[in-house]
A and B are shown apart, each in its own frame.
Chain A
Amino acid sequence: MFGLPLAFAAPAVLAALVGLAALYFLLRVTPPRPRQALFPPLRLLIGLDPKDTEPARTPWPILALRLAIGALIILAMAGPLWNSLAGLAGSGPLLVLIDDGWAAAPAFEKRIDYARQRMEGAARAGRAVAVKPLSQGAEAIAPLDMAEIEGRLRSLAPVPYAPARETALPAIQQFLAKEPKAEILWIADGVELGGASGFAARLQALTRSVEVVTDGAGARAIAGIDNEAGALAVRLSRSDRLAPAKGTVRALDAQGREVGRAPFDFGETLLTEARFDLPVEVRNDISRVVIDGERSAGATWLVDERSRRRRVAIASGASADVAQPLLAPNYYLKRALEPFADVSEWRDSSSDPIVSLLAEKPSVLALADMSVAPGPERDAILQFLDQGGVLLRFAGTRLAAGDDDLTPSELRRGGRLLGGALSWETPKHIAPFEAGSPFFGLAAPDEVTVSRQVLAEPDAALANKVWARLGDGTPLVTAGPRGKGLIVLFHVTADTTWSNLPLSGLFVDMLRRIVAKAGAPAAAADRKPGERAASLAPWRTLSGFGVLGPPPAQAEPIGDDFTGIGDALHPPGFYGAQESLSAVNALGQGQALARADYGALTVREGALAIAPPIDLRRWLLPAALIGLMIDALISAWLAGAAVFRRRGAVAALAFAAAVCAVSAPPSSWAAGPAGPHDMDAALSARLAYVVTGDPAVDETSKEGLIGLTRVLASRTSAELAEPIAVNPARDELAFYPLIYWPIVAGQSQPQAEARTRIAAYMKNGGTVVFDTRDALISHPGGAPTEEARWLRALLAGVDVPELEPVPRDHVLTKTFYLLDRIVGRTAIGQTWIEALPPADPNDKGRPARAGDGVSPIIIASDDLAAAWASDAGGASLYPLIPGGARQRELALRSGINLVMYTLTGNYKADQVHAKDIIERLTR
């Protein structure tokens, strides 16, 4: 409005400004009341001829003030919004397209805010509005009315894949056919992924008025990891040079705990790498790699068994002192395996090679042309197979001559060996791999030839065991389960004497897939060929924000040969059984992000960063009120009541101050209950809670502690007085055995003196129970929640002892009831307590352990007070999650134990000696 970023919710009210003119005349002729003065000699005045008979006029400052008050009220009634977007006017219906692939996830709230403001602005201006998230391509576009905008936008969430934007075009076309004058606003993520450029071109062809808004920062993503010999390399890609160049990647294990951190720096490029230098055992624990602080499915790389680095032990039948070590099968194997596995060779000639190699716990044992004779070696291998190991064998003269049953199928042995007997005209090529084979998808190069091989005994089951064949159908690689493990046999040697396969890249790829099988359940191996690939049901999938959760309803199982990237039907995540998960990621290995090219469309970069609209009413109305008060004061002064003026002014100022205090946004640390109640507090023991400033939370704390106090009084001898609210910045804390402190992240941190008071309280033996109440939203090892960060900031200046999750034998779980864990409104959060000294090994049978004193700090996350809160009849005030009377009872028991712990300390732990003490006393 007027070129200002100012919008009015009810512009019609502004017409009332005309009334100000009438007000002007009205005010001018009605002067303020004259000052009244008692004057006994009035008789002397009467009859005096006042020379001026002109009626008094309202003085102009008052007139101006009153007109200003009128204007302010009218403006406030019109609902002014100071909104930087309001200036962007337009006409015709507004269609908002929102990119909601994972690339949009990091700033998704900003996008939604922007969309909301633009849509509400347009709706206020009477334009039809509609919104189209581009992942919902096929759905028709329906106009929304003002009330629906908020709900519709709230329902949007980024999807964990990059939706193909083209699919939305028909719906857009349909909409444009109905509303030819529509303007299109495309809130884009700036990443080419999902066909942004093509979509932009098609969009431009459809209509002329398209505005593209991006946040100008593009996206960062993990494009694969390489489990290399020495380190885990994480490939990172960004779509735009404006995206932050530096950052950290974190590696998390299956429980979400952080395994390692590695910094990266894009510099000026779009691709970079971060390396985790970790021992291979630790690296194999990694189940996720995430970019720290980047919330998106693309910034999360799920690691499954396939990319774990395996330890492969190589043993050869050849004698240790091979004349030509560079031509030995060991050497070929080692070179082929090293890029993706940790190879260990038998070096010590003094010990039994296989037993000593298996002692190193490899995943794969490769035997190059070696026959296994019954004895400790064979027993060790059988045990290894039973534990799920993979035995990888290569043929050769020793195997052909030997007689062991550690092969997938019976081999033709003895004098019927191939070689001279089978004479081929030409060496054979490898046939293309069949669909059921683990090698399916690898190219079988023509230059690979096989000139000799061992033959399998034809047998009905043989066909199921063949993974690779030669051109004439004879098996090249066979595999069969044994115990939980797998035996894979290459019917050729690991060196080049029988074939040149070991020289080809195919050999490496084949070995890679075999090694990847290690640890995978053997069930996959004995699948019948031609059978459809086993389907792996989704187990946990990523949300668009990169958080693992239950799979959505439309997620479909993948085949175990699935190699693609995540899409709508197969969202990124883990698939299959929990012990052998296959990962699907949002990006392909090595895929690079590119910046979207929007062609000739109008692009406004970085325009998403807008300030929220400011409702000017909250300033205008108090201003009008203050104006009214000033006017009242002036009028009173003009009316001239001497005493009244003094008292009235004070009262008016006090009122004004009160109004200002109320209308001002709640300041940092809202005032707690008035007055120090130390006297009261000192007279009886009671629980206390910290006033957070959030009335709902404070009410919950109060109700909760009241409920707990009630239960304590009825079940235990701890009859505490009414709980009390404390403000650590003001109140003395020393009187309370336990202070419950719910964390509200939105509030500002208490002042420094509050922190010193807390520190002193904790030092002097008090116990603070912090409750982050975030058990539902936090995921272990993930980014700390707002509450956790707030608590960290609070405790930054406080000497906090080392903490640990409450151990099962901690005295806290024994003080009154025997509990397994602390339970609150939720039952999944972790409760932390001061770490106990390590258990005394001489004290094995002791059921409870305690430190020297009471833990000064207990950090819960289960929203304890809400679980305790009950009405007078004992009915719970808040629903529990998952719920049930049992959980509520456990929550109350947790509370009773907490209070008993703070009141009795390690008494219960010492009580285990009671028997001995009594015995000694009776002696």
Chain B
Amino acid sequence: MTITPSIRQDAATLSARLPSLVIAARKVAQTVRHGVHGRRRAGSGETFWQFRPFVSGEPSSRVDWRRSAREAHAFVREREWEAAHTVWIWFDRSASMRFGSSLSRTTKIDRAAMLALAFADLCVRGGERAGLLGLTRPLASQGVIERFAEAIATDERLHGASEAGLPPPAPAPSRSMTLLVGDFLCEPERTEQAMRAISAEGAIGELVLIVDPIEEVYPFSGNVEFLHPAGADRLVSPRAQNLRDAYLGRLAAHRDALRRICGRLGWGMSLHRTDASAAEVLLSLRVRLSTPEFGETRSA
């Protein structure tokens, strides 16, 4: 229903809770990796890929003499294709996300951060590079979660808590994937603009809507004064229960609008309630990452 200022204060300093989020993210990423992957990944990403017979016309420097010495033919040592797929990740850190109701055990921003970090880890371990949109370059190192956390903490330290409800409108490189996590409660048109800007060069992406249960349940009645977490707006409703049906209608319409936008742009969209398991949404994201449309870009 409502949250006390103290919890909002907690949420405002995300960096303070990053260590625990890091652990939680790693844990959930581990779960998902073991569920889908983990079959043939040992040794992947090594430079060696295969030996193939030397084709005349090639530079002789490519010949792997050690291998060729054992047989009559000359062999060329082929290396793995180095250009990994890039995943850009962004999550909403605005005031609206720093909200958690009594129906859920966590705030939206915590869940969003956890998902983002866990997904980054998942991607890196899957061989891709992951970067925080606007904060880091794509990374492929094992410690991606810590690096991301550091980046967020630095950003918060330098610029304060982010109030941007939408990702920066910079185009992502083509053939990269973008994961946007947030509540996207602003007008669908603005969301569409942002998405279009990102996918201007052909990048596709995934939208994850983080929803607090109270936003779907709307358990209010009586004389209620609604406040926006950012403190900008307020609405006094003497009989809040009368607004319920209209609100739920609007909410459905809003989501429909988002879904349509995603459909137009070829993005995927999923809904995640903070009272549901984080692993669930991570799993579905991972599955979507392995679907054919991404699969062709995968290195493996």
Binding site for B on A (CB under 8 A): 31-46, 48-52, 54-56, 638, 640-644
Contact = CB atoms under 8 A, between A and B. Distances in A.
Contacts of B212: 40
B238 A55 contact: yes
A37 B238 contact: no
B99 interface: yes
A424 B222 CA distance: 131
B62 interface: no
A544 to B, nearest CB: 72
B227 interface: yes
The 5 closest A-B pairs by CB, nearest first: A34-B223, A34-B225, A42-B228, A40-B96, A37-B2
Given A44-B185, A45-B247, A50-B239, A638 B226 contact: no
B164 interface: no
Contacts of A642: 1-2, 4, 102
Given A42-B227, A638-B222, A37 B1 contact: yes
A48 B246 contact: yes
Interface residues of B, number: 40
The listed residue with most B CB atoms (<10 A of its CB), out of A32, A40, A48, is A40
A438 B182 CA distance: 126
Interface stretch (B48-56, B113-121, B229-237, B278-286): B229-237
24 contacts: A33-B225, A34-B225, A35-B2, A35-B224, A37-B2, A38-B8, A38-B226, A39-B227, A40-B108, A40-B212, A40-B229, A41-B183, A41-B251, A42-B226, A42-B233, A42-B235, A44-B251, A45-B247, A46-B233, A48-B250, A49-B246, A50-B242, A54-B238, A638-B222
Given A40-B96, A48-B247, A638-B222, 7 more contacts: A33-B225, A34-B236, A42-B233, A43-B186, A44-B254, A45-B235, A55-B238
A43 to B, nearest CB: 6
A642 B219 CA distance: 13
A37 B222 contact: no
Contacts of A45: 226, 235, 237, 243, 247
A640 B183 contact: no
Nearest to A43: B185
Contacts of B96: 40
Contacts of A46: 233, 235
Contacts of A44: 185, 247, 250-251, 254
A48 B240 CA distance: 11
A649 B242 CA distance: 29
A595 to B, nearest CB: 75
A361 B217 CA distance: 113
Contacts of A54: 238
A643 B3 CA distance: 8
B228 A39 contact: yes
A48 B250 CA distance: 9
Contacts of B99: 38, 40
Contact of A38 (B227, B242, B247): B227
A646 to B, nearest CB: 11
Contacts of A42: 226-228, 233-235
Contacts of B224: 34-37, 640
Interface in B244-258: 246-247, 250-251, 254
A638 B96 CA distance: 25
Given A38-B99, A40-B99, A45-B235, A56 B243 contact: no
Interface string B204-228: 0000000010110000101111111
A357 B145 CA distance: 128
Contacts of A31: 223
A644 B243 CA distance: 26
A56 B224 CA distance: 11
A859 B247 CA distance: 83
B257 to A, nearest CB: 12
Contacts of A48: 243, 246-247, 250
Contacts of B186: 43
B3 A38 contact: yes
Given A45-B243, A52-B239, A40 B2 contact: no
A41 B211 CA distance: 10
B223 A56 contact: yes
B189 to A, nearest CB: 13
B256 to A, nearest CB: 13
B6 to A, nearest CB: 8
B224 to A, nearest CB: 5
A43 B227 CA distance: 10
A40 B228 contact: yes
A43 B228 CA distance: 8
Contact of B2 (A50, A51, A640): A640
A39 B4 contact: no
Given A40-B99, A42-B228, A35 B233 contact: no
Interface in B1-39: 1-4, 8
Contact of B227 (A37, A51, A643): A37
Contacts of B251: 41, 44
A125 B178 CA distance: 90
A50 B235 CA distance: 11
A41 B220 contact: no
A57 to B, nearest CB: 9
Given A35-B223, A40-B99, A48-B246, A641 B2 contact: yes
A672 to B, nearest CB: 40
A182 B214 CA distance: 79
A40 B246 contact: no
A38 B4 CA distance: 9
B238 A40 contact: no
The listed residue with most B CB atoms (<10 A of its CB), out of A39, A44, A49, A640, is A39
